[in-house]
Amino acid sequence: MRLLGSALIRGLVALVLAVLVLALALPAAAQTEESRRTDLSAGIAAARAEAARLQGDFKGLLGVRDRIEGLIADAKALRQDSEAARARLQGQLAEIGRAVVPEAASAEKRQAEAELAQAETRLRQDGQNLRAAEELWKSVTEMRRSLFARRLLAPGLSPLSPAFWGELLDRALPQVDEKLAELGARGAENGLDDEELLGVAVMLVLAFILYGISRSAGWRLTRRWRRFCERAGIGPRRAAAVHAVIDLGVTVAPVPVAIALLILLNEDMDLAPGSVDSLAVRVLAAAAGVLLGTGILRAMVAPRDPAVRLLAVGDAAARTIHRTGTAMLLVYALNLVFAEFAVMARFQVAISEAATILAVLACCGLLAGALVRLAHGEPPGEDAAAAMPAAAPVGFLGALAPLAWAVTAAAGASVLVGLTALGGFLIGRLIVTGILVALGWIVLICVDALSVGAEDVARSPRLARFCRTFSIRPETLALASIVTSGLLHALVVGAMVFVVIGPWNLAYGELNPFQDAFLGTTIVDLRGWLGAAGLALLTFGAGVLATRLATGWLDRRFLPHTRLDAGARYSVITVVGYGGLALTVIVALGQLGVNPQSLTVIAGALSVGIGFGLQSIVSNFVSGLIVLAERPVRVGDLVTVKGEEGRVKKISVRSTLIATGDRTDLVVPNTDLITSIVRNKTLTDDTQRLRVPLILDKETDIEVLHEILIKVAERHPNVAENPAPTALLMRIGEHGLEYEVRCFLVDLAASDTTRSELNSVWLTLFRRAGIRLGGPPAA
């Protein structure tokens, strides 16, 4: 009892302390929430004022929008806390209402009602702050879109008009000397002395030296890699993939070193537009872009070495792709550097527009010439293809050629009619997209080449030792490698699509394409632009494409390496295909506002009609699902259905296609496969017994006959060794000895051909041995 009393006292003391701590913490928590609401309202007001001040600053509005996203997250968190508090108080009021003595709970009820009213007020305030933040986010996003559209579609003077040349020759060019003198004076005032210029020159010299060292090291690394591949027996595709990675890596390696040198030479960098530091960064960015682009093109087409070429094109086409891409990159990079220099020198706008027009027209001319040469070039012959063992087919280039022609024509026409910004944007997007697609192509080839197969495990002692160490089957390791390769494929393709479509503001110097993808476009915006029907159609097309890619990967890459037979693989592919199509339809209908649950109501309303009019279709559909699940009939099986024999060619959810021996296709409803008797000759065993009857003369030597029959059957390639063929004397008839040769076939489809070949050889040997055939005497 004494122990129980002391335990109760300690429990009461702990409870009192907990109540005191909670009582002290609640006002502090409330104060904290109130301060958060105050800070949130102040932040929204500050962001609104800053957005109004930065209406013409494209990149500044992006920073404001990022701040607003943080405010939206805070507003959602506060609203969730308020909703939780309101739910707690409502539950407390419900408990008070169920009290046995209402009079004793009236004071507590009034207090809870007052607290609930305060919670409702806070919830409304949080909702207002959230709506204000979201509306401000939409307003800033719309500002940036409008600014982007105005800059992109800003009309200017056409180079075909005399006014453009008058503006350029009479006003802009005569002021170049004056502007350069002013630039020199400003540099002297800002402390740009000879030492800083010498530092920049030293940095450039060091960058070129680093590039030369890197290229020399890369050349040596690739030579050593080739020798290692020859000694280790590495396949040409894998060797070419690693060679491309090495070549690309040593090309881009000097870029971060040069940037680090620039930062060390100038710690207090001023990246404002028109500054010397901004020009230096633009020069480095342009050089990095040119190095990266040329490295990607060289790694892909290998103009001087067909053995490591990743694209199945001839030498002339490879040189055309590499030279044209390099020239376009140089022209585009020089234009970007000159545009920054023109801002720093405060040249007239006509000079920058003239430089952009020349750059766009030069790129259009280079690309058009390359497309013409590639279209009229000879495809690589057999000898050239043999010299490119790692090259992948280039069927997609033919599909991209019309798109390249369209963009080229649009860019050239834009600058000629005065839309200079639009022309520069189109040609820049074309160059960036082409480089990114080439980089994605290289990455995908490397992923494919570096994946491990069961045969690689058998050839590699290290992989075999790895499998033995961790008790992993080589087939399991191969499957894991294939799955990993598929996931990497999906990741790379998704990233490439996102980067190609997303970085619209790259034209204005934003280097992070993921920061402002699609200019803040959401699904709601797409629905407003395309309409519900257009968005549903887009969703359906994307779903069908994804389903086809998934089933194709399963069919070509994954399922052939499993233990499933052809019929099981076909069932899996069919189920995945129909499942993906059903999911796509449901999601597309959801974009139209159709609730998936309402489909059950519609199906119930149509049940009577289905029962009468669509009974056979539904029956065949369900039968098809049963056939795919139970697999009594598989693709490739030799079956007999209602007197028709043939090999199963395709199983769909409504019918099954059977190819008969006379080269006709028989369409059998799936209901017949479930309700009728089906003879499947290859369900459990692909081998089937062949019976060949013979009638021989009664005077035939039995031992010689048996030797001929058995040896000929054993030597035939389509006759199975186990069970061995047998020759049985079935009957001594009136017209001779009735024999029957029985053997099991490897390929049942060639049974008639096997019978004919056996009879032909037997007949020849019978004549040589003097064995005569039996039969009724001639009339």
Helices and strands (H, E) in the chain, number of each type: 25, 8
pLDDT at 63 over 60: yes
Q: How far apart are CA 451 and CA 479, in angstroms?
A: 10
Nearest to 681 by CA among 744, 734, 729, 623: 744
Q: Within this chain, do residues 544 and 654 fall inside the same structural domain, yes or no?
A: no
Structure tokens at 187: 């540099």
Give the pLDDT mean for 736-749.
Answer: 83
pLDDT tens for each residue of 404-458: 889 899 999 988 988 888 888 888 888 888 888 888 888 888 787 777 766 666 6
Torsions phi, psi for 19 (to 5 deg): -65, -40
Q: Within this chain, do residues 663 and 732 fall inside the same structural domain, yes or no?
A: no
Strand partners, 648: 658
Local confidence band at 746 (pLDDT 50, 70, 90 cut-offs): confident
Most confident range (mean pLDDT) of 8-22, 496-510, 729-743 is 729-743
Q: Within this chain, do residues 595 and 640 fall inside the same structural domain, yes or no?
A: no
Nearest to 743 by CA among 767, 711, 775: 711
Local confidence band at 30 (pLDDT 50, 70, 90 cut-offs): very low
SS3 of 561, please? helix
The CATH number of whichever domain residue 670 belongs to comes to: 2.30.30.60
Q: How far apart are CA 253 and CA 256, in angstroms?
A: 7
Predicted local confidence at residue 512, as pLDDT: 46
The total number of structural domains in the chain stands at 6
Q: Within this chain, do residues 497 and 616 fall inside the same structural domain, yes or no?
A: no
Contacts of residue 422, defined as CB under 8 A and 6 or more positions apart, other chains included, come to 152, 153, 411, 414
Q: Within this chain, do residues 440 and 456 fall inside the same structural domain, yes or no?
A: no
Average pLDDT, the chain: 75
Give the pLDDT mean for 345-357.
Answer: 85
Higher-scoring residue by pLDDT: 123, 379 = 123
Q: How far apart are CA 65 and CA 139, in angstroms?
A: 9
Q: Within this chain, do residues 194 and 121 fall inside the same structural domain, yes or no?
A: no
pLDDT at 613 over 60: no
Local confidence band at 349 (pLDDT 50, 70, 90 cut-offs): confident
pLDDT tens for each residue of 555-579: 887 887 777 766 677 778 877 888 8
In the chain, % of residues over pLDDT 70: 73
Q: Within this chain, do residues 670 and 730 fall inside the same structural domain, yes or no?
A: no
Q: How far apart are CA 433 and CA 494, in angstroms?
A: 14
With beta carbons less than 8 A apart as the criterion, state whether 580 and 539 touch: no
pLDDT at 23 over 50: no
Give the pLDDT mean for 610-629.
Answer: 68
Residue reference for tokens 């089933």: 551
With beta carbons less than 8 A apart as the criterion, state whether 539 and 591 touch: yes
Structure tokens at 524: 């709601």
Give the pLDDT mean for 612-637.
Answer: 71
Stretch (H or E) spanning 692: strand 688-696
User: Angle between the 236-252 and 420-450 helix axes, to the nearest 10 degrees?
Assistant: 130
- Would residue 490 count as lying in a domain? yes
Boundary (domain end) residue, out of 680, 701, 718: 680
Local confidence band at 25 (pLDDT 50, 70, 90 cut-offs): very low
Most confident range (mean pLDDT) of 13-22, 51-60, 121-130, 210-219 is 121-130
Q: How far apart are CA 704 and CA 555, in angstroms?
A: 52
Q: How far is CA 125 from the centre of its chain?
A: 43
Predicted local confidence at residue 561, as pLDDT: 76
Give the pLDDT mean for 32-55.
Answer: 84
- Would residue 168 count as lying in a domain? no
Strand order across the beta sheet in which 644-651 lies? 665-669, 655-660, 644-651, 638-641, 678-680
Higher-scoring residue by pLDDT: 497, 397 = 497
Strand order across the beta sheet in which 726-732 lies? 688-696, 737-745, 726-732
What is the DSSP secondary-structure string of 299-329? HHH-TT-GGG-SB---HHHHHHHHHHHHHHH
The torsion angle over the Cα atoms of residues 247, 250, 256 and 259, rounded to 10 degrees, is -110
Q: How far apart are CA 545 and CA 557, in angstroms?
A: 17
The CATH number of whichever domain residue 755 belongs to comes to: 3.30.70.100
With beta carbons less than 8 A apart as the criterion, state whether 454 and 478 touch: yes
- Would residue 124 count as lying in a domain? yes
- Would residue 359 count as lying in a domain? yes
- pTM (two decimals): 0.65
Domain that holds residue 468: 451-518
Predicted local confidence at residue 20, as pLDDT: 45
Nearest to 243 by CA among 264, 223, 267: 223
Local confidence band at 361 (pLDDT 50, 70, 90 cut-offs): very high
- Would residue 738 count as lying in a domain? yes
- Would residue 206 count as lying in a domain? yes
Listed range (69-73, 94-98, 197-201, 579-583) with the worst mean pLDDT? 197-201
Q: Spell out the alpha helix ranges (H) of 153-193.
A: 162-166, 176-189
Boundary (domain end) residue, out of 657, 680, 703: 680
In the chain, % of residues over pLDDT 90: 3
Do the strands 655-660 and 737-745 form a parallel or antiparallel pair, or are they unpaired?
unpaired
What is the DSSP secondary-structure string of 481-515? HHHHHHHHHHHHHHHHHHHHHS-GGGGGT---TTT
Higher-scoring residue by pLDDT: 325, 117 = 325
Q: Within this chain, do residues 466 and 592 fall inside the same structural domain, yes or no?
A: no
Q: Within this chain, do residues 435 and 469 fall inside the same structural domain, yes or no?
A: no
- Would residue 41 count as lying in a domain? yes
Q: Within this chain, do residues 98 and 83 fall inside the same structural domain, yes or no?
A: yes
Local confidence band at 383 (pLDDT 50, 70, 90 cut-offs): low
Higher-scoring residue by pLDDT: 174, 215 = 174
Q: Within this chain, do residues 146 and 254 fall inside the same structural domain, yes or no?
A: no
- Would residue 169 count as lying in a domain? no
Boundary (domain end) residue, out of 680, 711, 734: 680
With beta carbons less than 8 A apart as the criterion, state whether 126 and 79 touch: yes
Q: Within this chain, do residues 637 and 750 fall inside the same structural domain, yes or no?
A: no
HEC sequence for 353-396: HHHHHHHHHHHHHHHHHHHHHHHHCCCCCHHHHHCCCCCECCHH
pLDDT tens for each residue of 235-291: 677 777 777 777 777 777 666 666 666 666 555 554 455 566 677 777 777 887 888
Higher-scoring residue by pLDDT: 88, 215 = 88
Torsions phi, psi for 452 (to 5 deg): -105, 135
